[in-house]
Structure 1
Amino acid sequence: MPLSPEQEAEIEELRARRAATLRPVSPGLEAHLYKAHPVLDHGFVRVIDYMGDDAAIVQAARVSYGKGTKSVSNDEGLIRYLMRHWHSTPFEMCEIKLHVKLPIFVARQWIRHRTANVNEYSARYSILDREFYIPSPEALALQSTQNNQGRGAPLDPEAAARVLEILKADAARAYDHYEEMVDRIGLARELARMNLPANIYTQWYWKIDLHNLLHFLRLRADPHAQYEIRVYAETIGKLVADWVPMTWRAYQELRGGAVAVVRQALGCLRRMFAG
């Protein structure tokens, strides 16, 4: 179950509240508020709060407080101009706060993006749940012979079954010992946690501005990124598309997939001509 009963109750309480607001809202993202979007086997991403929308980016760029007589097409043109010329500050006016549940080894990659504000579940104060990331057989692969930090060919079914057997047994044994050290021996939680493997799940609140979020997505949603973090980035990308659709279209066309394909093609041509 992605959410605990306490978290489900919190969501219901928040949804029951209705308050008038004078600030602009993003209808697309409002539909996602508090909803847990499943990722991997036990993980999720959910939107806790946000500030700003496409109009906020335009307003910041023009240092104004209203659209006036400007049309949506003009606003989108300005956003495309800002994106094309790497004007980052207007995009930093938008922020989003996410609640993410993820394996610790994914969190350690993710935290390298130091432009966010993070508050993580503390195993010094609380007990971690018995939830471990166990990959699907299709996600298991040999070490790449060309990329020292990537995957190569898929494991054969027999080898994949053995890996899954090891992962499940190690996770169960480690958690049994964790419980024994905490409950029977009384070892401090901050010490007992050191025996747990990196595929156990943690949670955090993660707040970031839109400019730095797009940079995160450009790196982590890339096909070369590790699968386990890429699926989180892809989920967040769908949320961003609903939050700031004009910005997302500009990003996709000017910095995202299409541009990446062109750059790769140009790189291949350069290598061909270079011999």
Structure 2
Amino acid sequence: MPLSPEQQADIDDQRAESHQTLRATVPGMEARLYRAHEVLDHGLVRVIDYMGDDAAITQAARVSYGRGTKSVQNDEGLIRYLMRHWHSTPFEMCEIKLHVKLPVFVARQWIRHRTANVNEYSARYSVLDREFYIPAPEHLAAQSSINNQGRGAVLEGDEAARVLETLKSDADRAYDHYESMLSQDGQQGLARELARMNLPANVYTQWYWKVDLHNLFHFLRLRADPHAQYEIRVYADVICEIVKDWVPLAYAAFEEYRLGGAQLSATAVAVVKRMIAGETVTQETSGLTKREWGELMGVVG
């Protein structure tokens, strides 16, 4: 399980405390504060703190003339306009801080988004837990034959069993060696900062991750995409549900124009116009590469 009894008790204590505030709060986020949302076999995501709401976005956008005439409809329309035209600064007025527990190889993908504040669990100071990500059988897949970054058919039978056993035994053996190198029983023991180097990339780490809404949307646009690696996508999916409770108007606009939308090149737009005009366009006459043509056909059918 992602949480130990002691960690759950700490969360219960945090949720039992209540503080009066004059700042904007969101009921959906208040309900989520400190709660752990389980991800993968040992991972979690939980909200530690947040700042701002949908109104903070429109307030920033309207700063030149104050509140003016406003209503829910006006707020929604303004937020959709900002999202549609790629305005970023108003969305930066909202921030969220998450506690995330995740496998190291997922963390190394995640950290490529360099627009957040991160403080990670230190294996120089502390001993890592014996927790490793072991994929469920349905997520054990062969290398894709058409995508160098993706997966192909799911492994089955003896091959799947062999791979699972290898993953488990390698992780256990590495941790046994990690513990023995740290041991103080009659020996000096290796420094933690050196002993950790023998651990595999599926060991779990954790961090506090603070990011503004604009950069969070960029993260979600890439990592909640169906083509993203499964192990990071499930974290993005959980965060999407959290953001939906936090800033529902902004999330709806994000879903409309980013997650559910498509961006076309100038050549692709010209191809679509030719098709609308009744011209029969093929890949050979389109001016697009085979891959670009395939992506366009995926959008327009």
The normalised TM-score by structure 1 is 0.93
Residues in 2 aligned to 1:244 and 1:210: alpha-carbon distance in whole angstroms: 9
Residue 297 of structure 2: aligned partner:
none
Instruction: Measure the CA separation in 2 of the matches of 1:5 and 1:65.
Output: 52
Deviation at 1:263, TM superposition (A): 6.0
Give 1:92's aligned residue: 92
Report whether the alignment pairs 1:209 with 2:212: yes
> How far apart, in 2, do the equivalents of 1:23 and 1:132 lie?
40
Partner residue, 2:240? 237
The answer to whether the 8 Å contact 1:82/1:88 transfers is yes
Q: Check whether the contact 1:178–1:195 (CA below 8 A) recurs between aligned residues.
A: yes
The equivalences for 1:1-275 within 5 A come to 1-63=1-63, 67=67, 69-183=69-183, 184=185, 185=187, 186-257=189-260, 259-260=261-262, 273-275=282-284
Give the drift of 1:68.
5.9
Matched positions, count:
270
CA RMSD of aligned residues (A): 1.9
Computing the radius of gyration from Cα coordinates, the structure with the larger value is 2
Contact 1:59-1:65 within 8 A present in 2 as well:
no
Measured at CA, do residues 263 and 35 of structure 1 come closer, stay the same or move farther in structure 2, by a change above 3 Å? farther
Structure-2 separation of matches of 1:42 and 1:161: 21
Q: Give 1:163 deviation, angstroms.
A: 0.4
Deviation, structure 1 residue 149: 1.1
C-alpha contact (below 8 Å) 1:137/1:157 kept by paired residues: no
CA deviation map 1:34-88 (0-9, x unaligned): 0100100000000000000000001010017975651101100000000001110
1:164 Cα shift? 0.3
Query: Following TM superposition, by how much is the alpha carbon of 1:137 offset from its aligned partner in structure 2, in angstroms?
Result: 0.7
SS in 1 for 2:58: helix
Structure 2: segments with no counterpart, 5+ residues: 273-280, 285-301
Deviation at 1:245, TM superposition (A): 0.3
Report the CA distance shift for 1:65/1:133 in structure 2 as closer, same or farther (over 3 A).
farther
* Farther-moved stretch of structure 1 (156-165 vs 120-129): 156-165
TM-score by length of 2: 0.85
Letter of the 2:190 counterpart: L
- Cα deviation digits, residues 207-265 of structure 1 (max 9, x gap): 000000000000011111100000000110110011000001111111112x14x869x
